[in-house]
């Protein structure tokens, strides 16, 4: 397949920026593979309760689509 070969993609129209409906359609095809809370925050908090070696301070958050807020 060449660089300029057309791509058949199931969302949107080639050459046009996605708007809210296309973004929503694409998000419906995605699934969550990992959880920051489960994979990072919870193990860190568990470690902190067992150790007095350090303290953690939250200095910001990252808001992601779907209403989740990552520390």
DSSP string, 4-48: T-----SSS-TTS---HHHHHHHHHT------HIIIIIHHHHHHH
Q: Report the C-alpha gap between 39 and 23 in whole angstroms.
A: 27
The residue among 49 and 8 whose pLDDT is bigger is: 49
Asked if residue 4 has pLDDT above 70, the reply is no
Q: What is the mean pLDDT of residues 5-27?
A: 85
What was the pLDDT predicted at 42?
92
Place of tokens 């791509």: 7
> 43 and 51 in contact (C-beta within 8 Å)?
no
Per-residue pLDDT of 43-71, as tens digits, reads 988 988 888 877 778 888 888 776 777 77
How confident is the prediction for the chain on average, in pLDDT?
Answer: 82
């Amino acid at each position: 397949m060449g660089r300029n070969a057309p791509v058949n993609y199931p969302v949107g129209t080639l050459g046009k920026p996605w708007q809210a409906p296309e973004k929503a359609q694409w998000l419906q095809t995605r699934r969550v593979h990992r959880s920051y809370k489960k994979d990072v925050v919870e193990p860190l908090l568990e470690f902190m309760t067992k150790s007095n070696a350090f303290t953690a301070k939250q200095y910001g958050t990252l808001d992601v689509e779907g209403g989740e807020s990552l520390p």
